[in-house]
Amino acid sequence: MELDAGIAALRITIGLIFAAHGAQKAFGWWKGPGYAGWTGAIGKMGFRPAALWAFISIGAELGAGPLLTLGLLTPLAAAGLVGQGIVIIARVHWANGFFSSNGGYEFPLALLGGSVAIALSGPGAWSLDARLPVGLLYEPIVRWGVLLVAIAVAAVAAFLANRQAAAG
Confidence bin at 167 (pLDDT 50/70/90): low
- DSSP letter for 73, please: S
Query: In the chain, what is the greatest distance between 2 CA atoms, to the nearest angstrom?
Result: 53
pLDDT of 18 higher than 90? yes
Q: What is the pTM of this model?
A: 0.87
pLDDT of 25 higher than 70? yes
Of 22, 82, 32, 90, the residue nearest 57 (C-alpha):
22
Are 116 and 110 contacting, i.e. CB atoms less than 8 angstroms apart?
A: no
Cα dihedral 140/145/147/148 (nearest 10): 130
Q: Which residue has the higher pLDDT, 141 or 35?
A: 35
Residue type, 31: K
pLDDT at 164: 62
CA 66, 82, 101, 35 torsion-angle sign:
negative
Q: How far is CA 38 from CA 57, 102, 153, in A?
A: 10, 21, 22
Q: Which residue has the higher pLDDT, 105 or 1?
A: 105
Q: Write b or e for each residue in 102-121: b if 16 or more Cβ atoms lie within 10 A of its Cβ, otherwise e.
A: eebbbebbebbebbbebbeb
Residue type, 130: A
pLDDT at 66: 98
pLDDT at 11: 98
pLDDT at 23: 98
pLDDT at 16: 98
Q: Which residue has the higher pLDDT, 31 or 160?
A: 31
Q: How many CA atoms lie within 13 A of 40 on its CB side?
A: 6
pLDDT at 62: 96
Of 155, 7, 23, 160, the residue nearest 78 (C-alpha):
7
- 42-96 pLDDT, tens per residue? 998 888 888 999 999 999 999 999 999 999 999 999 999 999 999 899 888 999 9
Confidence bin at 168 (pLDDT 50/70/90): low
Query: Length of the chain in residues, anyone?
Result: 168
